[in-house]
Amino acid sequence: MASSVSLSFSSSLLPHPLPLNKNSTAIHRAQDSNFKLVHCALAAPATRTRSTSSSSSETRKRHWKQGEFPGVSETSIPGTYRRAPLKNVKKKLDRKNNAKAWANTVTEALSDAIDKKQWLQALEVFDMLREQPFYQPKEGTYMKLLGLLGRCGQPHRARQLFDAMVEEGCEPTLELYTALLTAYCRNNLIDEAFSVLNQMKTLPHCQPDVFTYSTLIKVCIDALKFELVESLYEEMAERLITPNTVTQNIVLSGYGKAGKYDQMEKVLSGMLEGATCKPDVWTMNVILSVFGNKGQIDMMERWYEKFRDFGIEPETRTFNILIGAYGKKKLYDKMSTVMEYMRKLQFPWTTATYNNVIEAFADVGDAKNMEYTFDQMRAEGMKADTKTFCCLINGYANAGLFHKVVSSVQLAGKFEIPENTTFYNAVIAACAKAEDLMEMERVFKRMKEKQCPPDSTTYSLMVEAYSKEGMNDKIYYLEQEIGVDVNQNNNSSGIESDAVV
């Protein structure tokens, strides 16, 4: 039954005049009459001069036609100059206003594309903007674009943009170099990130700061390269750069994910005893996430109480972490209790709150409660994101409702949800479960057309699907492609997924 369902995914993705015031006519008429009176007053001496001296009147240039009311020209009063006709002035003002309106429209389109994480559209609009004569390179625009490209798995395009910025004469700054370094770090390109760091060290005005080092420490922690973390700490000490609470929270998270609880507690004890890096709510969230993601609910709850004893108050994200942990362990009563407690303390339910609940029901294929939560989310005006639709797609696939996978993909396109590697992986997994390998291949092709780099999860899903059908030739060609793609783009979408969530 499932194999007969075809997931048609590929086809589903793609000034007024102001009202006049009733009194405006009367006002204009009053202004015109006053204007004529002023002209009459100024014109009186000219008529007297013409009556007394006929010879001078013959040589005087006439500024009005026969029968027209005499007035004063712009050149008849000493010290005045000839103005351009009002018609020409109006044209200039219209052109200026149109150019300004066009610039504002393009700028808004660029900002909208960045907000929606549509990196390709953002670059197209930016290229259009750069061709205009009024364009001037701005550091803030480049910062936003570099950040967008890093989040969307396009670090090499970030480098191209950075080089183009330098060619345009925009002076690189510490912040711009750090944004480029962050783009590499988000995509697990450690060597390239260290290359940027070394380049920064040679520039007097772009010396790395604590944020630069914290970003590098995070990518090393995620890659479990703790020896590099130690060398970065030593380098910071040599440069008299003191780690801050953000740096320590990153290290805490890395030790926790790697199961190095002794080192984690050592860092935390140092924070509690020291004066410069006191633990904060983010420290609390890091520790709770470590134990929550590993399913160690008792330890998570114990540390929650410890942090409360330290005087650290929870925030919305803290409760979302608890909800997610309870949902993964199917502790729905505790999950509901936390949500009710949030309402009681007037903590808002966010998109992440609903995503955690939807994910809990999606994991077990409970489509009914999943849909109910999604409908409530939309009714409360919460904006769905990429993770929301990944959870819906996974949930419908787990429930065997493959036709609803298609409708979810179509709805994501309607809402202009950013499509990243994680999103396509969810659809590929649904196609594999439906045993619709033709549609799976179409999704894979579209994924690459959209320049969303496949990762190890993508290839693993497809290899498993081909293996079930005994398609060894397909597996062979996929393995050949893996040798090219995975070495360049492996894990890029995983980091993007964290950013989206």
Tens-place pLDDT, residues 365-389:
999 999 999 999 999 999 999 999 9
pLDDT at 117: 86
Same domain, 198 and 291: no
In this prediction, residues 95-105 reach a mean pLDDT of: 54
Residue 106's pLDDT band (cuts 50, 70, 90): confident
pLDDT at res. 466: 95
Whether residue 195 sits in one domain with residue 112: yes
Residue 277: the pLDDT is 87
Q: Give the whole-angstrom CA distance, residue 88 versus residue 140.
A: 37
Query: How far is the C-alpha of 357 from the C-alpha of 322, rounded, in Å?
Result: 11
Query: What is the distance, to the nearest Å, from the Cα of residue 448 to the centroid of all Cα atoms in its chain?
Result: 21
pLDDT digits 0-9 by tens, 273-298? 887 888 999 999 999 999 999 999 99
Q: Is the pLDDT of residue 21 over 80?
A: no
| 419-466 per-position pLDDT tens digit | 999 999 999 999 999 999 999 999 999 999 988 889 999 999 999 999
Per-residue pLDDT at 203: 92
Of 419, 421, 420, residue with least CA distance to 411: 419
Would you state the pLDDT for residue 25? Answer: 43
The last residue of a domain, from among 181, 208, 235: 208
Specify if 337 maps to a domain.
yes
Beta carbons of 412 and 379 less than 8 angstroms apart? no
Alpha helices per DSSP H over 310-455 = 316-328, 332-344, 351-363, 367-379, 386-399, 402-414, 421-433, 437-449
Domain count, the chain: 2
Distance, in Å, from the CA atom of 228 to the CA atom of 185, rounded to the nearest integer, reads 14
Note down the domain range covering 165: 103-208
- Residue 475, burial from CB neighbour count under 10 angstroms (0-12, 13-18, 19+): middle
User: 28-37, 202-211, 482-491: which has the highest mean pLDDT?
Assistant: 202-211
Distance of alpha carbon 62 from alpha carbon 318, whole angstroms = 85
**What are the pLDDT digits (tens) for 34-64?**
434 333 333 444 444 444 444 444 445 444 4
d(CA 65, CA 157): 68
**Final residue before a domain boundary, out of 348, 376, 404:** 348
Question: How many C-beta neighbours within 10 Å does residue 239 have?
Answer: 13
Residues 108 and 204 in one domain: yes
pLDDT band at 265 (very low <50, low <70, confident <90, very high): confident
222 vs 210: CA distance, rounded Å: 18
In terms of domains, do 107 and 196 share one? yes
Dist CA 162 CA 159 (whole Å): 5
- The answer as to whether 147 is a domain residue is yes
Percent of the chain with pLDDT over 70: 76
Q: Is the pLDDT of residue 336 over 90?
A: yes
List Cβ neighbours of 472 (8 Å cut-off, separation of 6 or more). Answer: 466
Helix axes 281-293, 245-257, angle to 10 degrees: 10
pTM of the model: 0.68
Is 138 within a domain? yes
How many Å from the N-terminal Cα to the C-terminal Cα in the chain? 34
DSSP letter (8 states) at residue 316? H
Mean pLDDT of the chain: 81
CA distance 78 to 74: 9
Domain boundary among 177, 193, 208: 208
CATH number at residue 126: 1.25.40.10
Question: Residue 342 domain-assigned?
Answer: yes
Non-local (6+) Cβ contacts of 177 within 8 A are 196, 199, 200, 203, 206, 212
Residue 64 domain-assigned? no
Residue 29 has pLDDT above 70, yes or no: no
